[in-house]
Amino acid sequence: MRAFIFPGQGSQKVGMGAELAEASAAAREVFEEVDDALSQKLSAIMREGPDDQLTLTENAQPAIMANAIATLRVLEADFGIALAQHGACVAGHSLGEYSALCAVGAFSLGDTARLLKLRGQAMQAAVPVGEGAMAALLGADIEKAAALASAAAEGEVCDVANDNDPTQVVISGHKGAIERAVALVKDYEIKRGILLPVSAPFHCSLMQPAADRMAEALAATPPGQFSLPVYANVTAARVTDPEEEQHLLVEQVTGRVRWRESVQAMRADGVEQFVELGGKVLGPMVGRIDRDAATVSLITMEEIETFAKEIG
């Protein structure tokens, strides 16, 4: 069994998608459709930058999705590899869950782009710049990270945001609490704490205003039926019901990204290979979660062609 997985924020870089767009009409069509949906030349920012524009949350989120879906469309249109035929399920990391849902037909490409643009804007607006922060805890498991976050909070918000793999957990909350946590890492036998260059504290309770905005947006544009099950971030469980998924996408804004548990759940359900589309972040994480899992990350035309030959 095979899972197709979709990367989250941080996987963006200037030049993303340029090679695919040059080589494939299917990829070009994705980028053009996203540009039209947003009334914005996002593809130009992806191709040429500047970097500070691409890393803006409201641009990064739809850009990462567009690149992943372009990779999928090349696989489908140019090499005849249909997702529903060759995959058993899908999953995505944070915003990648929207990419996954687009890939299996729950949202149109245009709606996915608009939802992610709004999600990025809402997340940025939820907490004034400078009041929130996030930090990666390296060499930390979930138990150590949770204990550290609890100790560092001191009445402020300090939540576990991402349980990525057995060696990396991300915390999020008030800037003061996150800085205290970083200073305390050695006391909790954690190798290192690194403040992340993010503009807002994602996946913590401070994001509630953004969750409220996404609840309204998803009520107006709810997910439809999808062709493969999705493993949801906040439950790390298999979902097939669009109404359930709609509620989980709202919870996801403030909730923990349970990626380690999601991968373990997919493995327990029989997934043997994980195929990352449009990034090279999740594949290595999967390898750290389960060394016996096969992984492949697809970005270039050469990588896509090699993969298509292997499974075609």
Average pLDDT over residues 233-252: 98
Percent of the chain at pLDDT exceeding 90: 93
Distance from the first to the final alpha carbon of the chain: 15
What is the mean pLDDT of the segment spanning 158-167?
Answer: 96
Q: Identify the pLDDT of residue 250.
A: 98
Tokens at residue 240, please? 């097939």
pLDDT more than 70, % of the chain: 100
312 pLDDT more than 80: no
- Place 12 in a pLDDT band, splitting at 50, 70 and 90: confident
Of the residues 93, 174, 199, 203, only one is catalytic, namely 203
- Evaluate if residue 56 carries a pLDDT over 90: no
The CA distance from 139 to 167, in Å, is 5
Q: Give the residue-averaged pLDDT of 226-232.
A: 98
Q: What DSSP state is assigned to residue 199? A: S
The Cα–Cα gap between 18 and 121 comes to: 25
- Reported as a pLDDT band with limits 50, 70 and 90, residue 199 is confident
Give the up-direction half-sphere exposure of residue 40: CA atoms within 13 A in the CB hemisphere: 15
140: pLDDT strictly greater than 90: yes
What pLDDT, on the 0 to 100 scale, is given for residue 206? Answer: 97
Position 311 pLDDT exceeds 90: no
Concerning whether 94 is annotated as a catalytic residue, the answer is yes
Active site residue 39: no
Angle, CA 113 vertex, CA 196 and CA 217 arms, to 5°: 90
What number does CATH give the domain 132-198? Answer: 3.30.70.250
- Give CATH 3.30.70.250 domain extents, the chain: 132-198
Q: How many CA atoms lie less than 13 Å away from 232 in the CB half-sphere?
A: 20
The predicted structure's pLDDT at residue 129: 84
Please give the pLDDT value at position 251. Answer: 98
How far is 74 from 70, CA to CA, in rounded Å? 6
Catalytic member of 11, 24, 43, 94 = 94
Per-state percent for the chain, helix, strand, coil, to nearest 5: 55, 15, 30
Check whether 273 has a pLDDT greater than 80. yes
What superfamily would CATH give domain 2-126+206-311? Answer: Malonyl-Coenzyme A Acyl Carrier Protein, domain 2 (3.40.366.10)
Buried b or exposed e, range 77-91, using 16+ CB within 10 angstroms:
ebbebebeebbbbbb
Q: How far apart are CA 19 and CA 16, in angstroms?
A: 8
Least confident of 56-60, 219-223, 250-254: 56-60
275 forms beta bridges with 4, 296
What are the start and end residues of each CATH 3.40.366.10 domain in the chain? 2-126+206-311
**Per-residue pLDDT at 10 exceeds 90:** no
Instruction: Say if pTM beats, i.e. exceeds, 0.75.
Output: yes
* Radius of gyration over every alpha carbon of the chain, rounded to an integer in angstroms: 18
3-class SS of residue 2: strand
Half-sphere exposure of 160 toward its Cβ, with a 13 Å CA cutoff? 23
